[in-house]
A and B are shown apart, each in its own frame.
Chain A
Amino acid sequence: MEAPDMNTPSTPSEDPLETLLRKNSEPIADNGFSARVLAVLPPPVQKPRVLPNRRVIACGLGALSGLVWGLMQSGLPRANDLAAFASVLEGSMMRIAATLADPWVLLLGALVISSLVFAYAREIAAKLS
């Protein structure tokens, strides 16, 4: 049998000892190992039974019933009341728009959105891929 030289490499890039060390391993046969691992995996995670669109419907119904209740408390609106209400609503909307244009509010909104994106980055990436 030809004995390899353990002390001096035949070429600088090929050390016989390193070659021998790389070859000195045989793959381990599975012999049911994978099946045993799969048998003890945690049970599948149950997805929530309430669908998102049902939640939206529930929220919408809640808001609608609140609106109806509010109208019933104040009596049904007449035409003049509606015109006055529209004017008040317009003023409120203008005030809200002015508030939203505040740079600090914009910065806060950007921070909130960034935080949400950071928190759900993996889910977003999974949806996009």
Chain B
Amino acid sequence: MSLSDLELITCVVTEDDRAAFGELVRKHQSAVRAFLRQLTRGDAAWADDLAQETFILAYRKLRDFRGEAAFSSWLLGIAHNQFRNARRRQRETPHETVPEAPDDHEPSPADKTALHQDLSAAVARLSAHEQTALHVCYQQGLSHGEAAEVLGWPVGTVKTHLARSKEKLRQLLAAWKPLT
């Protein structure tokens, strides 16, 4: 029987149970890494470094987790802060540049279909904030309120980015409208 996130967190906090923390990492690594890959525009290596830092920081701060939000949302909030801090550091040291849009991420099976390829290409044409809003709300499955909490944006901004990005996607994918 698998333990819930809260039960695993209790094991880590009260007994420093590393196996329990390993289980938490295994459960949430995909979401955190996917979120960071989205933020880093597909730079898998950088995203994984940030994901590692995210989990280490989460381990250190686990006692502060109050359970008011879902653990996954709490983790994504830490990941977003890690990304913003890293980007700020890179701006301060211009010799280390942020990759613009590397294509070194592994193609997913979904990319194999033409529609998903077109969708991915269309999403890539959106602004970074629009892509982030789409990712957290649709791929991470967060509500508008949770997304606002994770990203540190007002709820209205999340909704605006979503509406704008969906409108752009509909225009970019208009060719997929069936001929009538």
A contacts, CB < 8 Å to B: 1-7, 15, 17-18, 20-30, 33-38, 40-42, 44-45, 122, 126, 129
Given A6-B174, A7-B174, A22 and B139 touching (CB < 8 A)?
A: yes
Q: Nearest residue in B to A19 (C-beta to C-beta)? A: B138
Given A3-B178, A6-B169, A6-B173, verify A24-B18 contact (CB < 8 Å).
Answer: no
> Which of A18, A24, A126 contacts B13, CB < 8 Å?
A126
Which residues 67-125 in B have Cβ within 8 Å of A in the complex?
108-110, 114-116, 119-120, 123
The reply to whether B120 and A24 form a contact with Cβ atoms under 8 Å apart is: yes
The complex places the Cα of A49 from the Cα of B109 at a distance, in Å, of 55
Is the CB–CB distance between A41 and B18 below 8 Å? yes
Bound state CA distance, A20 and B122, in angstroms? 13
17 contacts between A and B (CB under 8 A): A2-B178, A7-B170, A15-B166, A21-B138, A22-B141, A23-B110, A24-B120, A25-B108, A28-B29, A33-B33, A37-B22, A38-B21, A38-B22, A42-B59, A42-B60, A44-B16, A45-B16
List residues of chain A with CB within 8 A of the CB of B18: 38, 41
Interface size on B, residues (CB 8 A): 43
Are the C-beta atoms of A17 and B169 separated by less than 8 Å?
Answer: yes
> In the complex, what residue of chain B is closest to A28 when comparing beta carbons?
B30
With contacts A7-B177, A17-B169, A17-B170 known, is A37 near B55, CB below 8 A? Answer: yes
Q: How far is the CA of A50 from the CA of B4 in the complex (A)?
A: 35
Using CB atoms, name the residue of chain A closest to B18.
Answer: A38
B134 contacts partner chain A, Cβ-Cβ < 8 Å: yes
Closest residue to B141 on the A side, CB-wise?
A: A22
- Min CB distance A37 to B, Å, is 5
Interface pair B52/A36, CB less than 8 Å apart: yes
Residues of A within 8 A of B52 (CB): 33, 36-37, 40
